[in-house]
Chain A
Amino acid sequence: MSHQSTYRPTGPFTEWLDKRLPVPRLMHDSLVDFPTPRNLNYWYTFGGILTFCLISQIVTGIILAMHYTPHVDYAFESVERIMRDVNFGWLLRYAHAVGASMFFFAVYVHIFRGLYYGSYKAPREVLWMLGVVILLLMMATAFMGYVLPWGQMSFWGATVITNFFTAIPLVGNAITEWLWGGFAVGNATLNRFFSLHYLLPFVIFGVVILHIWALHVPGNNNPTGIDVRGKQDTVPFHPYYTVKDGFALSLFCILFAWYVFFAPNALGHPDNYIPADPLVTPPHIVPEWYFLPFYAILRSIPDKLLGVIAMFGSIAILFVLPWLDRSPVRSLRYRPMTQIFFVGFVVACGVLMYCGGKPAEGVYVLWARLATAYYFAYFLLILPIVGLIETPRKLPDSIAKPVLPAPALAGGTPIGATAAPHTDG
């Protein structure tokens, strides 16, 4: 950890343990006394919310797995049995299905937050890249989870998505058959997807621990994007942010509960209540809402291979983002030009999501193409160029200065000496 440990063992046992396996010390230093910028706003509460989502998915998922049967002849029926015959089975299943949507909602907010406040920039590149790894793992997990109830969308979604791999030259078909474990999506596919769907969340859990580790080395970024310059800029994580995060989490749970109890199927597709039938293709095969923007990128490109490359590229590009953005200033608060382009970027993502749910015809294709072009231009042209030509607004001297009333400042450590004007973000 990058800060001095303040852990004091509370008794003989913790003292004994501290010399052997200092877990309480680790917990204390990372969750209790961790110095956190005092100006974090509500956009910063989503990290805690995401941890809650992951744990909730794992707990509901493990109990579902006790009653679920991964076989093409029984999967649909076993889910119906969970809904009807398992005590509170409907609650588990709806919490798990809605939970996946909530998880993605939270992760997208979290990512846009990072984009806006420049959290991907030095010294947090590894933290950011670990986040992108988590996003990829979440997508794989949710995709395979959606196959498990073995409804029409499960089957046809799996067929469409696995078919992307046939676009790979030469070895495409071989890879696809290897993924299927046969010549089409079938029982072997369902079995391996269940196995991986059970495994990946625990891999995510591991990467989340690395993600938090990588957070605690440089410490949190904050809405001003400037570095912490001393104690006056921070408050201990507990109780200040445990309470703030707790409040945000409680509100988030209200939204979550509203969907679970009053609109549990609003985010799903009715066709998934029709048992999978390889002989009947649904008129519109649409993925879950959280995949729609990527689906729109895929379909906006007329060539299959290039479409698949663009779709994967739209996420891969996030890995190199820290080196694409040339501006020395982190937070878009102080970058008037980029701010406008950022709004355009959010709109482009919204347009992509909308078009992904519509048939690929007429005006939707045009919109999807424009939005795809903007999506890539934002990373490949706008961020590299604007960073060099834009004049940033004046940065505050320190995190504490714009927020602390004068007497409080005077009481703290003199900060004038350290608050030299800086432009290095």
Chain B
Amino acid sequence: MLKATRTLAILLAAGLGLAAGAAQGAGEAKHPHAPPGGWSFEGMFGHYDKAAVQRGFQIYKEVCAACHGMEYVAIRTLGSPSGPGYSEDEVEAVAAEFRVPAGPDPQTGSLVDDIGLPRLRPALPSDRFTSPYPNDIAARAANGGALPPDLSVIAKAREGGASYIYSLMTGYQEPPPGVTLEAGMHYNPYMAGGQIAMPPQLVPDRVAYEDGTEASVEQMASDIATFLNWAAEPELEFRKKLGFMVISYLAVLSLLVFLAYRRLWRNVGH
């Protein structure tokens, strides 16, 4: 029995050690941190704060969407009860505020409008949050050569996730003496390399929150990070709930099998 416990302890330690082994250093950038109070969606019982996700979406819509698309996120998913949870009507209204490529003109077959720009139409809930630029070349041209990345999975594509986004958005500061910025760059110690082409986005009261919350920089950064985490992991609430049930089930099963094992081997020396 003692030996068995030892074996299990070694295995468990090795299994959990995997995580440590996999965590790779993020380079020279400053380590990101969560807002005070942490994230509601962390931990075993994590869930999204619906109001925060909705406020975050407002920031995306009014600020970030000018440069960033979310090509893998369908507008209809804004109705998800484990996310922003908007009503069907609200989702339709939101969709109509976005423009997506309209495809060829049914009469002329033309892909561009009267002034030579790509034809656009109001979005439907079934559309995605397409990039505001017709292509990467246009996106770079409008941003001094830098490409604003798609934000669909950005929370999973950076070490630190939501905390990274929060830290990045609140981390702009004057460059320390000795650091010279390249043309068009801004100092931000959380960005790998310390310089980022995206200008600071959040200043106090950058948006007027629909729910009346005071729009401080920290508040907005925390809300947009929550929203982008939902965009990257829309299944999170369900996943954690299911995980809790699965592990509870397995724990009971293990106990029963263990008792059966003890009973079976009771009279067998080993």
**Docked-complex contact A354 and B192, CB < 8 angstroms:** no
Q: How large is the interface on B (under 10, 10 to 19, 20 to 34, 35 or more residues)?
A: 35 or more
Residue of B4, B14, B268 near A235 (CB, 8 A) is B268
Residue of B22, B71, B258 near A247 (CB, 8 A) is B258
Known contacts A246-B261, A267-B19, A359-B25, then 13 further A-B pairs from the complex at CB < 8 Å, ordered by chain A residue: A83-B235, A84-B77, A91-B239, A109-B14, A247-B257, A251-B254, A257-B250, A261-B239, A270-B157, A273-B156, A284-B27, A286-B24, A408-B269
Q: Is A239 an interface residue (CB 8 A)?
A: yes
**Docked-complex contact A42 and B250, CB < 8 angstroms:** no
**Docked-complex contact B254 and A240, CB < 8 angstroms:** no
> Which single residue of chain A is at the shortest CB-CB distance from B154?
A273
**Docked-complex contact A240 and B265, CB < 8 angstroms:** yes
**Docked-complex contact B12 and A250, CB < 8 angstroms:** no
A303 neighbours in B (Cβ, 8 Å): none
**Docked-complex contact B270 and A39, CB < 8 angstroms:** yes
Cα A254 to Cα B25 with chains together (Å):
28
A77 neighbours in B (Cβ, 8 Å): 71-72
Cα A242 to Cα B24 with chains together (Å):
39
**Docked-complex contact B269 and A405, CB < 8 angstroms:** yes
B117 neighbours in A (Cβ, 8 Å): none
**Docked-complex contact B24 and A284, CB < 8 angstroms:** yes
Q: Is B115 an interface residue (CB 8 A)?
A: no
Within 8 A of B (CB), among A207-225: none
Within 8 A of A (CB), among B1-55: 3-4, 7-8, 11-12, 14-15, 18-19, 21-25, 27, 44
Report the stretch among B84-92, B100-108, B196-204, B241-249 that lies at the interface.
B241-249
A240 neighbours in B (Cβ, 8 Å): 264-265, 268
Interchain nearest-CB distance for A249 vs B (Å): 9
Interchain nearest-CB distance for B167 vs A (Å): 15
Residue of B239, B244, B254, B270 near A403 (CB, 8 A) is B270
Residue of B12, B192, B243, B257 near A246 (CB, 8 A) is B257
**Docked-complex contact A353 and B21, CB < 8 angstroms:** yes
**Docked-complex contact A105 and B22, CB < 8 angstroms:** no
Q: Is A323 an interface residue (CB 8 A)?
A: no
Cα A405 to Cα B23 with chains together (Å):
49
> Which single residue of chain A is at the shortest CB-CB distance from B19?
A266
**Docked-complex contact B19 and A263, CB < 8 angstroms:** yes
Cα A404 to Cα B268 with chains together (Å):
8
Q: Is A13 an interface residue (CB 8 A)?
A: no
Q: Is B141 an interface residue (CB 8 A)?
A: no
Per-position 1/0 for A257-290, Cβ under 8 A of B = 1101111111111110110000000011010010
Q: Is A304 an interface residue (CB 8 A)?
A: no
Would A247 and B261 be within 8 Å (CB), given that A254-B250, A262-B44, A400-B269 are in contact?
yes
Cα A41 to Cα B253 with chains together (Å):
20
Q: How large is the interface on A (under 10, 10 to 19, 20 to 34, 35 or more residues)?
A: 35 or more
Cα A235 to Cα B4 with chains together (Å):
19
Q: Is A255 an interface residue (CB 8 A)?
A: yes
Q: Is B206 an interface residue (CB 8 A)?
A: no
Cα A81 to Cα B234 with chains together (Å):
12
Q: Is B170 an interface residue (CB 8 A)?
A: no
Cα A266 to Cα B18 with chains together (Å):
9
Interchain nearest-CB distance for B79 vs A (Å): 14
Q: Is B186 an interface residue (CB 8 A)?
A: no
Q: Is A372 an interface residue (CB 8 A)?
A: no
**Docked-complex contact A357 and B246, CB < 8 angstroms:** no
A264 neighbours in B (Cβ, 8 Å): 239
Would A354 and B21 be within 8 Å (CB), given that A84-B72, A283-B192 are in contact?
yes
Q: Is B93 an interface residue (CB 8 A)?
A: no
Q: Is B195 an interface residue (CB 8 A)?
A: no
**What are 28 sample pairs from A and B whose C-beta atoms fall under 8 A apart?**
A38-B269, A38-B270, A90-B235, A90-B239, A91-B242, A109-B11, A109-B14, A239-B264, A240-B264, A243-B257, A243-B260, A243-B264, A246-B261, A247-B254, A247-B258, A251-B8, A254-B250, A254-B251, A257-B250, A260-B243, A263-B19, A264-B239, A269-B24, A274-B149, A358-B25, A400-B269, A403-B269, A405-B269
Q: Is B240 an interface residue (CB 8 A)?
A: yes
Cα A320 to Cα B159 with chains together (Å):
42
